[in-house]
Structure 1
Amino acid sequence: MTHAKDLVLACYARWDGVGRPFAVVERATPRVPGRGELLVRVDMATVCGSDLHTVSGRRSSPVPGVLGHEQVGTVVGVGEGGVLCVDGTPVALGMRVVWSVISSCGRCDRCARGLSQKCRGLRKYGHEPLLEGAPLTGGFASHCVVLPGTAVVAVPDGVPDEVASPASCATATVAAALAATGPLADRRVLVTGAGMLGLTAVAMAVTAGARVVAVDPDPLRREQARMFGAAEVLGGAIPPEEVDVALEFSGRSSAVRVCFDSLGMGGTAVLVGSVAPDDPVRVDPERLVRGLNRIVGVHNYRPEDLLTGVEFLAAHHDSFPFADLVEGRFALGDVGSAFEAARLRAAPRQAVAPGCVLPM
């Protein structure tokens, strides 16, 4: 028999489809989760661009569901067998953590090839169908059950929630993109799209010793790119000088074209933002061959990328205005307003504080 003392009263914001309001649902969940699982109290979650795509209907997602995959939280339950952080540290009660957007099996052929981010049995937080018996699968909830096979990284005390929350998507994804480029010291780097990922990429590339050119049609974002270290900013034109690396985060076909056309000899284009339909982009195979160019796609990321992202934020968040990129502190019962603010692009991220169920 399960006693009340063995349960935690959790709540989640249920998404019921395009054009429909979120509904806050309460549910009791075991204080001690299953073997290899964690129960984490979500301290803050942020609205990612892919969440916006889902709510607008631009991106397909199961209905109903619990959205949200950028969050930071505190461990309140550890399942039998325990869980290790990416660096090998055992997860303990009270530890402040972020976790990967995906869980993987570790056994399939893709996992064996080092492609755990594309595991054949992959489960993705904030993108799963709602299961009445196990609904705590997204960040827009008071608690999340972190499944076995999920990368977990401890967050140092000095890193604010506003800085840490995007690490599990934006920062780790940028770390994966930069891992595909090779060393960046003394290289000329183009970043297209100066949203959350693009600004993070500017900061990480500059810290690695690169000279960065940022491209975005929005004047405010261009100014933010300067604050994050960009040496040059453009509204959309091809840079006057060729680049060694082009990082594309906007998802716009026109920006992909700029990346391709800006590459110099031996240059690499890394495409990250193209996760929703847009116009096809023509590739000139002769230019690709004669230029010794590479085109790399990055989607999701590896466990070590999450660790790299958190370590970067811990070391450099005081040097760049990361905390200023997150606005709001919406209650879980007012998550729809957080999405509306995000749609208006008031800031790259809007924050939800799930511990507060209803608006103050």
Structure 2
Amino acid sequence: MSASPVVQESPAPVVEPAPVVEPGPTARITLSPPPTAMAWMKVGVPHELMAVPEVCLAPGDALVEIEFATVCGSDLHTVSGRRSAPVPLVLGHEQVGRVAALGAGAVRADGTPLRLGERVIWSIMVSCAECDRCLSGLPQKCRTLAKYGHEQVRHGWELSGGFATHTHLRAGTAIVPVAESMPREIAAPLSCASATAMAAVDAAAAVTELDGATVLVTGAGLVGLTAAAIATDRGARVIVSDPDPLRRATALRFGAVATVDPLLPPGSPTAFAAVLSSLGLDDGLDVAIEASGSAPAVAQAIACLDIGGVAVLVGSVHPVGRVPMDPEAMVRGLKTVRGVHNYTPRHLADAVEYLEKRHCAYPFAMLVGTTFPLSELDEAITEAATGGHVRVGIVP
């Protein structure tokens, strides 16, 4: 671990920040008590509390005091060892907070000046805006990409994740204000799941018109449920597939006209083929958004498409094995398969705008099933891993 962090026995309380800005290009911020973060060390070992006595904000940087965070599935993949990660690491990349201090020239995603006290969310990634990938519209694949909640703790960027009292936002981060009226449980996941769902729906819409389309969403987690709501509001008829009966019931509250249990045998009257037939969809579907990461679900998403259909794969963010595909069917069916990983700043801004308008139309807030204090992060992650909640909340 870097020499800068100091491990304490208990979390320091969050207090109103009192930034001290020194002359020059770097703003040196000292808070009393200091910001703290939970550092993950390795599988099976409890998080360690880390204090950061000083935060140095370069031009374009900002320091945000965390209001609320949520545990994402990728956090669970890391702590379980399903995905490798550098350590020590401050996890967490779904959060909402308030601007506590600013580096010179810090701006929002739209280029306007960021203000102290603003309630904001921010992108999962830090991009350079200058490399070939950024210039071609793929900032999430920047040549010098850094990601919140995924980077090894290092001197000068210790507060790099959301499981903390504060997060240090670096220049190149898309920062978007959110309305004070938006519940924290809805605002926090905007930084990952909600914006990713927006990107997935947009990827489908770039291939086929959604108004009047039939859409399959596989996986009724936060990405899948949000995608179902967005597609429904764009005029699509949505079917959701998930093995969990409670999540299938939840999907009906997010616009789905029908749900499917993918574990049922083909001959069952409520199996996938039977449900499609009952809806007059024997030829297949226009769109499939695969949000579960299950190999059988990926295969089904591709196989179920009608002529000219598009499958958007968004859930396969860890190895799931090979998936069979019939090239002749793809060619003769004029089918499209698109991969979506994370999102662009535009998708983040669009997701904020969408949920500010529509968060009352669907029960998004209920998707955070329980909340823990930051000091009980390990207990929160254990609870999230049970799968009993779409999201578990963390309060600093």
Please give the TM-score of this superposition, normalised by the length of structure 2: 0.86
Deviation of the 1:327 alpha carbon: 2.6
Pairing of 1:30-45 with structure 2 (within 5 A): 30=55, 33-45=57-69
**Larger Rg computed on CA atoms:** 2
Which structure 1 residue ranges, 5 or more long, are not aligned?
Answer: 355-360
Picking from 245, 259, 281, the partner of 2:287 is 245
Partner of 1:200: 226
Separation in 2, partners of 1:80, 1:333 = 33
Match runs of 1:178-217 below 5 Å: 178-182=201-205, 183-217=209-243
Instruction: Return closer, same or farther for 1:220/1:52 CA change in 2, 3 Å cut-off.
Output: same
Unaligned 5+ runs, structure 2: 1-19, 23-27, 263-271
Which residue identity is paired with 1:19? G
Comparing 238-247 and 332-341, the one that deviates more:
238-247
Aligned to 1:274: 316
Q: Find the counterpart in structure 1 of residue 25 from structure 2.
A: none
CA distance in 2 between partners of 1:134 and 1:189 (Å): 42
Separation (CA, whole Å) in 2 of partners of 1:132 and 1:20: 23
**Alignment match, 1:171:** 194
- Moved runs in structure 1, 4+ residues, more than 6 A? none
Task: Write the letter of the residue equivalent to 2:311.
Answer: A
Residue 371 of structure 2 aligns with an amino acid whose one-letter code is: R
The alignment of Structure 1 onto Structure 2 pairs a total of residues equal to 351
Which residue type is aligned with residue 207 of structure 1?
A: D
Between the two structures, name the one with larger relative contact order (CA 8 Å, sep ≥ 6): 1
Question: Which TM-score applies when normalising by structure 1?
Answer: 0.95
Instruction: Check the 8 A contact 2:216/2:238 in 1, yes or no.
Output: yes
Distance 1:332 1:320 in 2: 28
Matched, 1:127 2:150: yes
Residue in 1 aligned with 2:331?
Answer: 289
Pairwise CA distance, 1:158? 1.1
Query: Which has the higher mean CA deviation after the structures are superposed, 220-229 or 20-29?
Result: 20-29
Distance across 2 between alignment mates of 1:319 and 1:189: 20
RMSD, matched Cα: 1.5
Provide the C-alpha distance between the structure 2 equivalents of 1:10 and 1:225, rounded to a whole number of angstroms: 39
CA distance in 2, matches of 1:207, 1:62: 40
Whether the 8 Å contact between 1:23 and 1:333 is mirrored in structure 2 is: no
Pairwise CA distance, 1:115: 0.9
What SS does structure 1 have at the residue aligned with 2:204?
A: coil
State the alpha-carbon separation in 1 of the partners of residues 51 and 369 from structure 2: 26
CA distance in 1: counterparts of 2:99 and 2:51, whole angstroms: 20
Could you tell me how far 1:329 is from its partner in structure 2?
Answer: 2.5
| Partner deviation per Cα, 1:288-335 (whole Å, 9 max, x = no partner) | 111111000000110000001111110011010000001323111100
Q: Is the 8 A contact 1:24 1:332 kept in 2?
A: no
SS of the counterpart of 1:212? strand
- Contact 2:123–2:348 (CA<8 Å) still a contact in 1? yes
Percentage of identical aligned residues:
48
- Secondary structure of 2:129's aligned partner: coil
Q: Map 1:72-111 onto structure 2 (within 5 A).
A: 72-83=96-107, 85-111=108-134
Task: Please give the per-residue CA displacement for 1:187-227, whole angstroms capped at 9, x wherever unaligned.
Answer: 00000000111111111111111000000010000000001
Query: 1:357 corresponds to which residue?
Result: none
The equivalent residue for 1:13 is 38
Task: Say whether 1:47 aligns with 2:89.
Answer: no
The farther-off stretch of 7-16 and 130-139 is: 130-139
Structure 1 residue 340 and structure 2 residue 382: aligned? Answer: yes
